Amino acid sequence: MPRVLLIGWDGADWRILDPLLERGDLPNLQALIDRGQKDVLRSTVPTHSWAAWPSFLTGVDPADHGVYDILETVPGTHKQYPVTYKSVKERTFVEDLSAAGKIGVYADVPLMFPPPDIQGKILAGGVLPKNRTYSQPADLPETLEKAGVPWVINGMSWTTYRNKPEQYLDEALEITGKRIAATEWLMDNSDWDLMASVWVSVDRTQHALSNYVGPDHPDYARNTTTAIGAKVRDVYKQLDDAIGAFVSRTRPDDLVLFISDHGFQSVTRTIHMDHLLKKFGFLEFSASNVVFGPMQWGPVRKVARKAYDILGLHGKVSLPQSVNWSKTKAFTTIRSTGEGVSINLAGREPDGIVDPADFEKVRDQVMDALSNFVDPKTGKRPVKAIHRREEIFKGKHADTAPDILMEPEVGYSLTHAKTALEDADWISGDHRPEGVIVAAGPNVKPFEQQPMLIDLAPTILAALQAPASIEAHRTDPARGRGRRGRGHPPRGRSAGGRDPGHADRRGRPGGQRHRGRRDGGAPPRPRLHRVGAALLPATADTDPNIARVRGILVAITLCGTRRDQSPLVGVRHASVERGHQDEGRERPKAQTRLMTAGPRAAGPPSRPRRRGGGGRSRPR
C-alpha cells in the first residue's frame, strides 16, 4: 500500500528558494519538482508557526482549533504560558491515523508535546521543557543514543546569537545534521505509513539572515557574495541533501509532500505593537516594564533568553505583559508576531475598563489609528491590511481570537522592536502567508485552485485510506456561501460565533454581534469557512460510493498554476464523515472555511482598507 513522506521546511518561501534552485544549489528539491507539482501553499491567519502547525495537524483554521499564539492565557488572569499539544482543541490526523491502525513517525513536528499515545513514534518539536518526556515511546531518545544517532532538542535560538551570524550558523548546521541522521535511522528501522519531519533551521535563519538570501532585501546584493552568504546557503544545501536521502528511501507508489507552514518577507523596519498603542493613547505600561520591557528585544533579550533556556524555564514561569490595565483600552494579544490586538473590555477581560456599549467605537478608533499610521522615514503604512475578528473567523473558538487582526506591509515586522517604530536590528525577515508545496506521486495531478495548509491533514488521511473525524460543510468559493448560506451562523450561535448567553474560556460574555467592515461597493469576500480538502484525484480508493463505507467521503477537484502557468496539483473541496468514535474528546462539526492568497487568488476574506481617498468606508 502507498505510504506518505512529508518533509516540512518551516518558513520556506519560493521568493528565496527559486533563486537557489536557479543557482543549482537544491538539486534534490528540483528533482522532486520535475516529477511532481509545485505551487504556493496558503497559510493561516495569524501566520506564525504556533497557529499554523495546529492547522496542519487538524485540517481546520485557528477559530476551530483555538490556538492563535505561542502563549495562552489562564482564564480569569493575565498569566500566560506556552501552548502545547493539549492546547489544540480539535482532534488531529495523528490520532485518526493511529485509530485506523496506521503507523506514523513524527520527527520535530511542532506542537506535539506532550506526545499523544499513538501507534508509531514521536520526537516532539518546538521549544521543549527540560526533564519532561518528549517522545513516544518514552525511551526512544535512549534507543537513538545507543544507535549512535542522538536526537538533540531545542537550540538554534537565533535571538541568543544577536549579531553573531557565524556562531548561530555553526549551531544550526550541527544540530540539524544530528537530527537528519536520527531521522534516517528512524526511516530505516521503523515500519511506517507516514513519515513526517519538520526542519526549523530555515525559519530561524531567515529571521536573522534573510538579507543574505532574499533578493528583494536592500542588503542582498552586498551580502550574498560574502563568506556568511555562502554559509547561509549551506543551511538550505544541507536540507536539500536530506531530501535526497529521505526520498531515496521511498517506493515508487509513495506520495511525497514538501511543504512549509508559512512564507517569509524581507524586513527593514520593525514595530513594537504595545509601544505603538501607547503612542496612540490606548495603552499605559506598568512599573514592571522597567524590568521586563528591555527583555522584549535587544541585548537584554539575548541574555534573558539564554537564562530562560539554561534554567529550563519553558512552561514553568508565566511570561508577563507589563501593562497598567486600569489605564489601558487596547493591548497586543498575538505577542509573537504583533498581528493581533484586543480591546480591554469590561466584563470580558480580568481588569477590563472599556464599557461594552463603547466597544465598537473604541475598536474603530484603534483600527483607524493603526491603519492610518505612516512611517515618517519611508512614507509607507506599516499595516497593509486590518480586519475585524468576525470578518476573519467564524469557528467555535472565534470568541477567543483577537478583536483586530493585521497583516504587515512588505518590509515591516509588527514585532522585534524596542520602540514603537525603528530600523530592523538583527532581524531581516518575518512571516507572510505564502508558503510552499511540492507534491509528487502516481496520483498527483494539477491544481485548479490554490492549496491551503489545512488541506494537508485530509490529504494524508485520504492517501492512507484512514477515516477522518471531522465532518465538513461545503462552501462555494465563488460565492462564499456555505450550506447554511451567507450570514447564517451555526445553529445555536450568534453571528459573532458565540452561543447567546455563553461565556468563553476567558470569562467573556457571548452573544454580542459586531459589525463587519467592507470597502466601497465591492462584494464581500468569502469568510474563513473551510475545512481542508484532500490534494488527491478520486480513485477507486477514494470514490464516494466506495469510500462512504469506510467513513470517508472525498469530493475532489484540483487547483493553482506554476511558473510556466501550466496547471498544478490541488483541490477544490473535500468533505469527510466521521469514521469512528473518539474516546475522550468531543468532536462537533467543523466549519468549512476559505482563505486566499491576495491578488493571485481570491484574496483575504475582508478587503484591505483603501490607501487613497482618506477615511474608511462605514460598515453596512
Predicted model pTM: 0.78
What does the alpha-carbon distance between residue 562 and residue 200 come to, in Å, rounded to a whole number? 25
Q: Residue 470 has which C-alpha cell? A: 471531522
Which pLDDT belongs to residue 402? 97
Those residues of the chain that have pLDDT short of 50 are: 297, 472-529, 538-620
Give me the pLDDT at residue 305, please: 58
Angle between helices 27-34 and 14-23 (to 10 degrees): 100
Largest CA distance in the chain: 67
One-letter amino acid for residue 3 of the chain:
R
> Tell me, what's the pLDDT at 398?
96
Residue 604's pLDDT is 34
Predicted local distance difference test score (pLDDT) of residue 314 = 56
Domain ranges across the chain: 4-262+433-439, 267-423
The pLDDT value given to residue 309: 63
- For the chain, the distance separating the N- and C-terminal CA atoms, rounded to the nearest angstrom, is 54
> Could you give the angle at the alpha carbon of 91 between the alpha carbons of 73 and 501, nearest 5°?
55
294: phi then psi, degrees, rounded to nearest 5? -65, -15
> Of 261, 308, 286, 295, which is closest to residue 416 (Cα–Cα)?
295
* Closest CA relative to residue 574, chosen from 465, 436, 452, 455: 455
Distance CA 216, CA 511 (A): 46
Amino acid at 147: A
Per-residue model confidence (pLDDT) at position 360: 98
On whether the CB atoms of residues 88 and 114 are closer than 8 A, the answer is no
What is the pLDDT at residue 618? Answer: 32
Per-residue confidence (pLDDT) for residue 527, from 0 to 100: 40
Q: Which residues pair with 109 in a beta bridge?
A: none
Q: Residue 291: what pLDDT? A: 54
What are the backbone angles phi and psi of residue 504, rounded to the nearest 5°?
A: -80, -175
The CATH number assigned to the domain with range 4-262+433-439 reads 3.40.720.10
Scan for cell 460565533, then name that residue. Answer: 497
CA distance 326 to 341: 17
pLDDT at position 603 is 34
